[in-house]
Amino acid sequence: MTIRLKCPQCKKPLAVNDTLAGKRVKCPACKATITVPAPVAPPADLEAFAAAALADAAAAAPAKEPAKNIQFTCLYCDEPVSVAADLAGKNTPCPSCRQIIKVPLPKADKPKDWRDINKDGPAAARINLPEQLDGAWGTEAKSRVGRESLEEAGALPEAEVEPVGVGRWIRRAVIAAALVGVVAFIVVAVNRKKVTTLQRDAIAEAREFDEKKKLDHVLAAAVDCADAALLLSKDKREAARQQFTLARKKCAETAKESALDCDLFRIDLALSQLEMLGTKDQELAKTRYDWDVVLTEVRATLGLISSPEAKVLAARELSDRFIARNETPRALTLVTVLNAGATANQAVKSPVLAQQGALLFLQDPKKLESMIEPPDLTKKTPPPLVARIAYAEGNARKGNLDEAKKFVWAEGTAMNQFDAAVGVASVILGNKSDKDAVSLATPFVEGAINLEKKLKANMTPWRTYQLCRVVIRIPDLAPKAKELAKDLPANFKRRAQLDWLLVQLEKGDSMAAMDQLIAELPPPEGPARGLAWVALGRQFTAMGRPVPVPEAEGDNALDRIFANIGVALGKRER
């Protein structure tokens, strides 16, 4: 039970546990040391004792008559007011200021009952508890023990915190990495599926259009070539090979007016077929082919090139591709294919003999000397055209431009000098790794432009077109390409415009390419516009830029169809 007492020093009422009876404790208020008295034994009959206490208190209270008047102060004039008790709680006018005031209720004058407890405060608060002694437990707080007291007493067990070791950190890192990997895998899978769907739809739409309205045979072959490139990117080598073969067949028989476009497409097709060539590991994994298989396919394509001038372009571009890979012998093999003739006399007269000789000179100048006698430039005798070009381009490929210049401008006809100058410029500009290629090629291009003015009446479309191809690669001279192409036949002119666009794309000037495309490649003349849209869509997508795909339908849907093919190819390269 609880012992209640007052501190003799500060008179503070206190309540302590009866177990402290007779012991000395400290008052929580004044800190004085006091002795806890022994508890008083309760009476035998508590109820009778309580009733007697109440009766005594009631009997002791003197009876009071109710007040006849209520005394209070007016809130307005601060004057004392006295009104009859029956007006309690009602409104009445103030006798002094005449303001209406409310008469307060009279205070009840009755004995204080110990059972009435003032319970002001929050509903859940513990109200009117006696103050506790330090270190003592009262009956009012017996159900709660402070955490601090338990900690001081050492009653709470210490929580053991397991240290995070290296192994656990590694496990956490592995789990986090696995989660990131799963998310990344899902994102990549979804994106790859979208790309595959886009590629499949682009090719399917082009073929559907071809079935209904018949595409230009070069464009139809370009669709198959694009499909082959997409299949090859997925390591489907056999399906890609079949599509390359199908593209070659579509350009096997061509009309005379489309011979230029077909020959130039065959060059692009041969270069694309070289992508089937793989390493030993890729050959074993059956994702690419060995050299013998690729050589067979490329040889079949090159054998369809009809014009001598196109063969020269093919020889130079194939040489550029393999020389960049340090595979000159393979370049020589393919150029020899272009040089093959039914008789030795035909081989000697082949237009690509000079390019074959340039590759031999690159390997070993003595090899070229055994096939073509080196011209004696100290004499005034003009060197033969093949020797002039072979030694000029051979020195250019070796980087000996001063020697190449001597063979270009040696004594001879202006036409031979023109052909040699264009050839050397093509070789220099074909070296993509040479940052100074433009400045090194400029003198040869300028010389060729001057010669063209003198030879204009005798210039063939092929020669003018080849000059345009090198002029557009020199930024300061590029505007002259439009003047040169102005008098070309329509098919050559369109190809020159396409080449201009491709050069702009190589430089990353896609907006200029778009302007040129819209302004100067009107449909439906030939395949140039469709090929331009493929190149434009491919470059824009590879650069991560949105492609301005036209919304045209019907006969004008070709722009959109081939732009989408370009987008599909660009997605492969990202």
pLDDT per residue as tens digits for the range 293-333: 999 999 999 999 989 999 999 999 999 999 999 999 999 99
Q: Quick one: CA torsion of 135, 140, 146, 150, rounded to 10 degrees?
A: 60
Sequence-distant (≥ 6) Cβ neighbours of residue 398 within 8 angstroms: 361, 362
- Position 41 scores a pLDDT of 60
| One domain, residues 8 and 104 | yes
Residue 57: pLDDT above 50? no
State the DSSP code for 380. S
Residue 51: pLDDT above 80? no
Domain membership flag for residue 75: yes
End residue of a domain, out of 254, 289, 306: 306
- Position 423 scores a pLDDT of 97
Mean pLDDT, residues 97-121? 69
| One domain, residues 113 and 204 | no
Tokens describing residue 254: 């061509």
Measured between alpha carbons, how far is 425 from 515 in angstroms, rounded to an integer?
28
Residue 400: pLDDT above 90? yes
Sequence-distant (≥ 6) Cβ neighbours of residue 115 within 8 angstroms: none
End residue of a domain, out of 255, 286, 306: 306
| Residues pairing with 5 in the sheet | 14
Longest dimension (CA), the chain: 159
| One domain, residues 119 and 7 | yes
Residue with the bigger pLDDT between 39 and 227: it is 227
CA end-to-end distance (rounded Å), the chain: 87
Measured between alpha carbons, how far is 415 from 451 in angstroms, rounded to an integer?
8
| One domain, residues 6 and 107 | yes
Domain membership flag for residue 383: no
Q: Of the ranges 109-123, 173-187, 224-238, which one carries the lowest mean pLDDT score?
A: 109-123
- Position 347 scores a pLDDT of 46
Mean pLDDT, residues 39-55? 59
Mean pLDDT, residues 141-147? 53
Tokens describing residue 407: 């063979």
| One domain, residues 6 and 119 | yes
Q: For tokens 């009631």, name the residue.
A: 58
Residue 112: pLDDT above 60? yes
Domain membership flag for residue 236: yes
Domain membership flag for residue 389: no
| Residues pairing with 92 in the sheet | 101
Sequence-distant (≥ 6) Cβ neighbours of residue 470 within 8 angstroms: 422, 425, 426, 429, 441, 445, 448
Q: Quick one: CA torsion of 185, 186, 189, 194, rounded to 10 degrees?
A: -150
Compute how many other C-beta atoms are within 10 angstroms of the C-beta atom of residue 498. 24
Mean pLDDT, residues 85-106? 84
Residue 44: pLDDT above 80? no
Measured between alpha carbons, how far is 536 from 540 in angstroms, rounded to an integer?
6
Q: Of the ranges 8-12, 269-273, 288-292, 547-551, which one carries the lowest mean pLDDT score?
A: 547-551
Domain membership flag for residue 43: yes
Measured between alpha carbons, how far is 101 from 94 in angstroms, rounded to an integer?
6
Domain membership flag for residue 504: no
- Position 175 scores a pLDDT of 87
Domain membership flag for residue 355: no
| Strand 91-93 with 100-102, pairing | antiparallel
Contact 318, 427 (CB under 8 A): no
Tokens describing residue 480: 């002259």
Contact 428, 440 (CB under 8 A): yes
Measured between alpha carbons, how far is 303 from 334 in angstroms, rounded to an integer?
10
- At residue 252 the predicted structure's pLDDT band, cuts being 50, 70 and 90, is confident
Sequence-distant (≥ 6) Cβ neighbours of residue 383 within 8 angstroms: 375, 377, 391, 407, 410, 411, 412
Residue 263: pLDDT above 60? yes
pTM of the model as a whole: 0.67
- Position 230 scores a pLDDT of 94
Q: What is the mean pLDDT of the chain?
A: 82
Sequence-distant (≥ 6) Cβ neighbours of residue 563 within 8 angstroms: 533, 534, 536, 537, 547, 549, 550
Q: Locate all alpha helices (DSSP H) within 214-290, ordered by sequence.
A: 217-233, 237-250, 259-273, 280-284
Domain membership flag for residue 520: no
Nearest to 294, CA basis, from 318, 320, 262: 318
Residue 43: pLDDT above 80? no
Contact 335, 354 (CB under 8 A): no
DSSP conformation letters of 445-470: HHHHHHHHHHHGGG--HHHHHHHHHH
Measured between alpha carbons, how far is 323 from 485 in angstroms, rounded to an integer?
31
End residue of a domain, out of 96, 124, 152: 124
Query: Which range has the top average pLDDT, 82-96, 156-170, 418-432?
Result: 418-432
Mean pLDDT, residues 344-352? 58
Nearest to 314, CA basis, from 277, 349, 339, 289: 339
Mean pLDDT, residues 197-211? 89
Quote the number of domains for the chain: 2
- At residue 2 the predicted structure's pLDDT band, cuts being 50, 70 and 90, is confident
Measured between alpha carbons, how far is 445 from 75 in angstroms, rounded to an integer?
112
| One domain, residues 102 and 206 | no
User: For residue 211, what are the domain limits?
Assistant: 197-306
Query: Which range has the top average pLDDT, 179-193, 341-355, 507-521?
Result: 179-193
- At residue 153 the predicted structure's pLDDT band, cuts being 50, 70 and 90, is low
